[in-house]
């Protein structure tokens, strides 16, 4: 095939870091397109009921804002419930899936069928390719299910494989899909999204510039933990060059190949489909387990399978992923759940040759006050594993009117005008986390920390945008005050930026090393391109 004539046998093939891929879904996916445990048609009815009532609920919220009523007004609950019941009773399509109404004693009933065997049915219908440099866009339609094969192809174009290996991957998808992948490859070439190099030394560069047990902050909640000569990734949310900001950014081919990827929860800034689509597919992905579900669950297996991964390991709370010299243990993740859905989610402890690192992500107290501290989770892990050297935790302080939450339609309508925590981590709570963990260093992360991330999200504070940060956090407890509280407890505090490196010191402590020059994305790109 002609495409292969454009490469030399010895060349390593890669995608340029400004090539951007976005999967296109059949129909606009609802926020619950990937939730299992409830039939999709039931979700559609719940969604529709919420949609129809949304304007009335927004009017009620405006009344609160204008001082005509108070959010705590007990009348709200019955008003929304009655309007909801009236709507459902008036429409057969909604009645079919939702049972609601008031009993003789005035109690409001609201039910929909939970069915553990139900799995989401999302299919991607195409791929959009954008060259971030030329701004040229191309659409690539799927005439049959082929996302996993596309994910495999994109994953193998990471600059560590020669042409023959790429050809092998194409051959492995079968005679039906192979010509389509060749066609995609041709489109990539035509759009100037392919690069070739005589070298493949990005992995070696990372090894030469990090130490065993270093933790590198990849921006937001993304971490790379070096384990011997390998790297474990946690929640990688990377951005192609010039996609969200006019600057080079850390992107898949500029990182060492992960030995495993750990995901804490389903939010898009922790499970980023665009990043995962381009990651190598022959690595295990460790995800929260359905065994920890209450009713509903995010179907990681379906989503990651669609992206091309085949080693998807569900790790339930308390279960361990062993490695030579230690384990990664899954721990319960509390909170960041305004509507109390309690989808399974994980925090992780890396217990590595006597050094413990706790990856808390956005976990914090739930609406009813449960947390890893209160439930004794952290105390227990210290009892079993010893003190934690470094804690990585978010400092976001977000509330949400439940009606505005993406999960509102799956929560009782009578509570829509209540306030729900959406990751509300006070200084006092985080101080308790650090003290229970007996931590030496508290790292504040998962609130941006990289200039290349999008700047329209309420939990991303881009460096260089102090006024934007001031607006977002004007009524928060001062985040920097946590540093003072922790110092009194003998724990250091660090607000992390992308490319900070956390390095073990010989005295059993940890130091923060600035990696912004060594791991500057332009420099990483030059490692193999000579650019």
The residues binding Fe ion (CB under 5 A) are 267, 336, 362
Least distance from Fe ion to the Cβ atom of residue 131, Å: 31
Q: Which is nearer to Fe ion, 267 or 438 (CB)?
A: 267
Contact 285, 274 (CB under 8 A): no
Least distance from Fe ion to the Cβ atom of residue 130, Å: 27
Helix (H) or strand (E) holding 485: helix 481-488
Least distance from Fe ion to the Cβ atom of residue 410, Å: 17
Coil, helix or strand at residue 7 = coil
**What tokens appear for 522 in the block?**
């332009």
Q: Which is nearer to Fe ion, 367 or 529 (CB)?
A: 367
Least distance from Fe ion to the Cβ atom of residue 221, Å: 8
Strand order in the sheet with 124-131: 19-25, 124-131, 137-141
Helix (H) or strand (E) holding 359: strand 355-361
Least distance from Fe ion to the Cβ atom of residue 307, Å: 20
b or e along 106-119 (b: 16 or more beta carbons within 10 Å of the residue's beta carbon)?
eebebebeeeeebb
Q: Which is nearer to Fe ion, 19 or 372 (CB)?
A: 372
Least distance from Fe ion to the Cβ atom of residue 416, Å: 21
Least distance from Fe ion to the Cβ atom of residue 336, Å: 5
Q: Which is nearer to Fe ion, 124 or 297 (CB)?
A: 297
Coil, helix or strand at residue 261 = strand
φ and ψ at 519, to 5 degrees? -110, 20
Q: Which is nearer to Fe ion, 48 or 266 (CB)?
A: 266
Q: Which is nearer to Fe ion, 210 or 447 (CB)?
A: 447
Q: Which is nearer to Fe ion, 84 or 233 (CB)?
A: 233
Q: Which is nearer to Fe ion, 110 or 445 (CB)?
A: 445
How far is Cα 326 from Cα 352, in angstroms, rounded to an integer? 5
Q: What is the 3-state secondary structure (H, E, C) of 275-331?
A: HHHHCCCCCCEEEECHHHCCCCEECHHHHHHHHCCCCEEEECCCCEEEECCEEEEEE
Q: Which is nearer to Fe ion, 85 or 425 (CB)?
A: 425
Strand extents, DSSP E, 26-111:
35-36, 99-102, 108-111
Q: Which residue is nearest to Fe ion (CB)?
A: 267
Q: Give the relative orientation of helices 427-437 and 481-488 as an angle to the nearest 10 degrees.
A: 30
How far CA 269 is from CA of 234, 264, 447, in Å, comes to 12, 11, 10
Least distance from Fe ion to the Cβ atom of residue 361, Å: 7
φ and ψ at 170, to 5 degrees? -65, -40
Strand extents, DSSP E, 202-259:
215-219, 222-227, 230-234
Contact 489, 470 (CB under 8 A): no
Q: Which is nearer to Fe ion, 214 or 362 (CB)?
A: 362
Reference 161, options 129, 194, 132, 135; nearest CA is 194
Least distance from Fe ion to the Cβ atom of residue 492, Å: 25
How far is Cα 511 from Cα 501, in angstroms, rounded to an integer? 8
Backbone region of residue 476 per phi and psi (left: phi > 0; alpha: psi in -120 to 50; beta: other values): beta
Reference 48, options 81, 93, 14; nearest CA is 93
Q: Which is nearer to Fe ion, 278 or 447 (CB)?
A: 447
Least distance from Fe ion to the Cβ atom of residue 267, Å: 4
Q: Which is nearer to Fe ion, 307 or 460 (CB)?
A: 460
First to last CA, the chain: 30
Q: Which is nearer to Fe ion, 267 or 290 (CB)?
A: 267
Least distance from Fe ion to the Cβ atom of residue 345, Å: 9
Which value, to the nearest 10 degrees, does the dihedral of the CA atoms of residues 137, 141, 146, 152 take? -10
| DSSP at 92 | H
Least distance from Fe ion to the Cβ atom of residue 270, Å: 6
Write down the residue that tokens 């909170």 correspond to.
335
**Cross-strand bridge partners of residue 419:** 401
Least distance from Fe ion to the Cβ atom of residue 405, Å: 12
Reference 393, options 419, 371, 376; nearest CA is 371
């Amino acid at each position: 095939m002609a495409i292969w004539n454009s490469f030399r046998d010895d060349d390593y093939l890669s995608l340029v870091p400004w090539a951007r891929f976005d999967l296109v879904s059949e129909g606009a996916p609802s926020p619950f397109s990937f939730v299992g445990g409830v039939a999709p048609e039931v979700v559609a009815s719940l969604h529709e009921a919420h949609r129809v009532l949304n304007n009335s609920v927004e009017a009620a919220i405006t009344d609160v804002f204008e001082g005509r009523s108070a959010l705590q007004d007990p009348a709200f609950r019955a008003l929304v419930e009655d309007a909801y019941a009236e709507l459902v009773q008036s429409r057969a399509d909604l009645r079919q899936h939702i049972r609601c109404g008031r009993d003789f004693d005035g109690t409001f009933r609201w039910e929909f069928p939970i069915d553990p065997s139900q799995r989401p049915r999302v299919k991607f219908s195409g791929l959009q390719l954008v060259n971030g440099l030329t701004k040229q866009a191309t659409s690539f339609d799927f005439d049959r299910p082929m996302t996993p094969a596309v994910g495999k192809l994109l994953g193998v174009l990471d600059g560590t494989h020669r042409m023959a290996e790429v050809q092998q991957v194409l051959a492995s998808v079968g005679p039906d899909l192979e010509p389509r992948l060749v066609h995609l490859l041709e489109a990539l070439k035509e759009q100037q999204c392919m690069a070739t190099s005589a070298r493949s030394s990005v992995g070696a560069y990372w090894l030469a510039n990090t130490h065993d047990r270093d933790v590198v902050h990849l921006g937001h909640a993304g971490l790379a933990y070096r384990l011997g000569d390998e790297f474990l990734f946690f929640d990688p949310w990377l951005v192609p060059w010039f996609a969200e900001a006019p600057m080079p950014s850390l992107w898949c081919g500029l990182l060492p190949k992960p030995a495993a990827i750990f995901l804490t929860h389903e939010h898009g800034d922790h499970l980023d489909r665009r990043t995962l689509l381009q990651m190598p597919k022959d690595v295990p992905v460790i995800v929260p387990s359905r065994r920890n579900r209450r009713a509903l669950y995010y179907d990681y297996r379906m989503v990651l399978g669609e992206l091309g991964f085949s080693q998807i390991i569900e790790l339930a709370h308390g279960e361990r992923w062993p490695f030579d010299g230690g384990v990664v243990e899954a721990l319960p993740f509390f909170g960041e759940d305004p509507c109390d859905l309690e989808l399974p989610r994980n925090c992780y402890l890396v217990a590595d040759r006597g050094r413990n690192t706790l990856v808390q992500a956005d976990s914090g107290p739930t609406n009813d006050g449960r947390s890893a501290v209160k439930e004794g989770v952290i105390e227990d892990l210290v009892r079993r594993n010893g003190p934690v050297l470094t804690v990585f935790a978010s400092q976001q302080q977000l509330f949400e009117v439940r009606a505005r939450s993406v999960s509102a339609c799956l929560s009782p309508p009578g509570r829509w005008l209540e306030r729900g925590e959406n990751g509300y981590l006070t200084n006092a709570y985080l101080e308790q986390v650090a003290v229970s963990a007996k931590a030496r260093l508290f790292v504040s992360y998962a609130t941006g920390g990289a200039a290349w991330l999008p700047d329209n999200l309420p939990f991303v504070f881009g460096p260089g945008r102090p006024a934007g940060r001031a607006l977002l956090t004007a009524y928060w407890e001062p985040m920097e005050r946590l540093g003072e509280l922790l110092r009194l407890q003998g724990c250091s505090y660090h607000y992390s930026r992308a490319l900070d490196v956390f390095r073990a010191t010989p005295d059993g402590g940890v130091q923060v090393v600035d990696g912004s020059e060594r791991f500057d994305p332009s420099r990483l790109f030059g490692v193999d391109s000579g650019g």
